[in-house]
Structure 1
């Protein structure tokens, strides 16, 4: 399965702000260079703000083939950083008295739209802006005709239908659950209230005042000329046209423009203007949960009480922004690859943060071997290299997966199929290789083998909605598991997996939750009576009983690791 992104999760770090040089360190520059040279990212551009000083650094190209060097004027998709623009627009309306954070969203939607309620409580604008509306991450009627541009055909009618027919599964305002559809809906409500499109609101209220001429939803001719082409792995991919849910992730911009935006946010409390005052309101804490170890402003994630951040990703791009208003520092990092660049921003904001050394991708070497010596000898080369040169190359599961999709894009289906088979053989406990192999089989017209591998992928990772959806489309029955409240209660407690690392299991309203040391709380879902999986990462836990039938341990399976833990409370 190729990555289908719209948001990267908030970073779970303890940020410690220290004085540092205003310049971008050589270590960061070399790290960026190594990411590009090893084809993890195609191009990366950084803007770092320290007080009145701004430093830029760029490396790489606008495309793998026939690209030109990226720079601070190159145009990228910023994905979910768009949500902070939506929050700023809402704050402008609140400060002007036109709207209130406590307004129910039904006040602004057409009367034909039936907004879901729960226990007599209505969803408000504040709930949408803080991801506490109890709406899901994505609408359940989102079925793109083109996975490479998946939001292009999602209409306002689709959105209204989803809202009118969705049944809330948790209490409104009780907890944070990241919702793209919720923030997209908020952007549309701003359209309805103002009588203007979301893009017009962004341009009029943010882009023009800050002279951000290359920040738009729809590419201007100038922006097209400066566009850094998006890449899915090693393959160039389509841009995402997000209009109906534009408030959740539809903006394109440049590092030059985004630096202006970050600077305005840094100065929100020191400059008296409508825009700066709105930004200041958007920065205020609006939701905090000790259980989830989470704090939200309006769209912005808050770390350690004052650090503001938001990142984002679309099919061919990743982005990261962070602000420390107290020290007047900020950063924005944009890349034209769907490979996360958060670490670069973190390093600039937190100098003690360690950057993981980059190894050359085995996929790049293997691609040359295939071209020169053919697939059979290339596979033999891979196996020998993995044995004798394990420390010289990156052999992680996504390397072969990325190469397989590159070969599919080049219409080399037979070779791609062999690469996906190799990936399954090398990583038999990972879900994604089976999903990718199944996709290749399906594209090759081998439906039975596709079904077999989609099932295996789903067994390993029940959170794989792609496999679930494809199997349903092929009329394959999917087993749904329910676990009694009594059995859920038997799993609650604290499990020690390491001297300083434990997992606490709790229940609420017939649902099971997991919280690791220093991490937010996440819901876990059953795939068997004693096996549960997470949706935020590919991981699962298994509860184990002793000879007397009492649950006395659990095992965490994640990233190829098997971590047992004894129940201590």
Structure 2
């Protein structure tokens, strides 16, 4: 009996060990499951921002961010090339970059100066036909440096555009029209003293550089920038490759917009590019330069020196503490660290670029909607910078009431805004600037998303609109309807 008992005891002990082991294994499995459920992957903050703008706020259709940290470059993307496709936006997607075109034009200027082709002090008239009269003020000529720093005295857009499309104002604008504008436009203050952002000035700079070189603007970009830096999809005239990668522009309500079609002032607003090309270009502005193997060390040194001159602050800009370099805006921060940036839009795209050279950080944001995205760029570059509040919800207003609001309103002598209605929407447009949509909160109250401002139209006792009230940053200004 003894051997049998020992045998049974062994069996029970084995079963006990098996049961205990099974229970322990089950407990361990449950703990790991609980741990997995409690430790869900944390979404990257940049991914969260892009998801909100595309999916939650519906402010754009596709958006791509390029982040530069020294020699490391990272691409983030969300959305599609347009609303009618499932093709996702990527680092290869080509966007209209609007005013960021001026950064390529300024780089061309800096590199051509290093080559001895031009000088910053050259008067613009040196590079144009004798029949073209360049405006002067008190005998002071406009020089190339003035065009590149927006201190020429020229307006944002020429006053003789022929396009009726407010989202594509330079469509059909010719060189002859540009020369006509230059020969008749009167400057109103000393050249080189006042900052006024001028797309026509920067476009003129691109034109005269091409004139001097005897080549097209795109050929200059290819020779001086694209080939050395290995940029594959940058230019004002899209290549076959660029066309296959091109995003469609959209307005603030995500309706498709006709592509920008300027062919004369491309140096100010007509370039197209993608995140991959722009990260290489912005890295070069930061002094992080990789040129093609066939280029010599002397070529690399020339690039370094040229971009040092391009980003050097030269004049005070319109806002306190902001200076203008060649094409760039710059602000000095803590420990004398300059942040350089530029942003802007075409009819259906918005773009931002900024960098801090000493910290070796840069950010590019490209969006195929005209809704501003500056806050995203500044927030990534400087995490303490606040993101914009979620967009306000618009209310339903009767478009038939909009006609009564149309006309010209005067804040002060010479400072006016035109109110117009198109396709059931209300717009405001200061002279020489692009129009902005006014979104209804009620039949008489509207708001501007990009400025976080409110506009109220005021009637007299007879029901006629007499003036508007413009509320921004807690201050209200009145503009009288003059016609």
- Assess, with a 3 A threshold, how the Cα gap between structure 1 residues 63 and 203 changes in structure 2: closer, same or farther: same
Number of aligned residue pairs: 379
Q: How far does residue 130 in structure 1 lie from its aligned partner after superposition?
A: 0.6
Q: How far does residue 419 in structure 1 lie from its aligned partner after superposition?
A: 4.5
Counterpart for residue 277 of structure 2: 257
Contact 2:96 2:346 in 1 (8 A): yes
Q: Residue by residue, what CA displacement relative to the aligned partner does 1:302-334 show, whole Å, maximum 9, x if unpaired?
A: 111621111121011000000111011101010
Contact 2:195 2:318 in 1 (8 A): no
Matching of residue 244 in structure 1 with residue 264 in structure 2: yes
Q: Distance in 1 between matches of 2:320 and 2:359?
A: 27
Report the structure number with the largest CA radius of gyration.
Answer: 2
Q: Distance in 2 between matches of 1:279 and 1:32?
A: 31
Matching of residue 106 in structure 1 with residue 125 in structure 2: yes
Counterpart for residue 63 of structure 1: 82
Counterpart for residue 227 of structure 1: 246
- Assess, with a 3 A threshold, how the Cα gap between structure 1 residues 250 and 317 changes in structure 2: closer, same or farther: same
Q: Distance in 1 between matches of 2:270 and 2:470?
A: 35
Q: After the TM superposition, which residues 378-457 of structure 1 pair with which residues of structure 2 at under 5 Å, given as runs? A: 394-396=392-394, 419-421=398-400, 437-438=402-403, 452-455=404-407
Counterpart for residue 359 of structure 2: 327
Q: Which runs of 5+ in 1 are unaligned?
A: 1-23, 360-393, 401-417, 425-436, 439-451, 469-535, 541-555, 565-569
Contact 1:34 1:358 in 2 (8 A): no
Matching of residue 350 in structure 1 with residue 378 in structure 2: no
Contact 1:47 1:255 in 2 (8 A): yes
Q: Residue by residue, what CA displacement relative to the aligned partner does 1:9-34 show, whole Å, maximum 9, x if unpaired?
A: xxxxxxxxxxxxxxx98333212111
Counterpart for residue 35 of structure 1: 53
Counterpart for residue 25 of structure 2: none
Q: Distance in 2 between matches of 1:269 and 1:48?
A: 16
Contact 1:134 1:170 in 2 (8 A): yes
- Structure 2 residue matching 1:88: 3-state secondary structure: helix
Counterpart for residue 144 of structure 1: 163
Q: After the TM superposition, which residues 490-501 of structure 1 pair with which residues of structure 2 at under 5 Å, given as runs? A: none
- Name whichever of 202-211 and 76-85 sits farther off: 202-211
Counterpart for residue 471 of structure 2: 558
Contact 1:269 1:277 in 2 (8 A): no
Contact 1:148 1:315 in 2 (8 A): yes
Q: Distance in 1 between matches of 2:409 and 2:366?
A: 33
Q: Residue by residue, what CA displacement relative to the aligned partner does 1:238-284 show, whole Å, maximum 9, x if unpaired?
A: 11022210000111111111111111111269983433332221011
Counterpart for residue 118 of structure 1: 137
* TM-score of the aligned structures, taking structure 2 as reference length: 0.73
* TM-score of the aligned structures, taking structure 1 as reference length: 0.62
Matching of residue 163 in structure 1 with residue 76 in structure 2: no
Q: After the TM superposition, which residues 505-524 of structure 1 pair with which residues of structure 2 at under 5 Å, given as runs? A: none
- Assess, with a 3 A threshold, how the Cα gap between structure 1 residues 159 and 60 changes in structure 2: closer, same or farther: same
Q: Which runs of 5+ in 2 are unaligned?
A: 1-41, 291-296, 422-449, 455-468, 478-483
Q: Distance in 2 between matches of 1:26 and 1:289?
A: 35
Q: Distance in 1 between matches of 2:419 and 2:373?
A: 25
Q: How far does residue 150 in structure 1 lie from its aligned partner after superposition?
A: 2.6
Contact 1:84 1:300 in 2 (8 A): yes
Q: Distance in 2 between matches of 1:332 and 1:69?
A: 18
Counterpart for residue 364 of structure 1: none
Q: CA RMSD in A?
A: 2.9
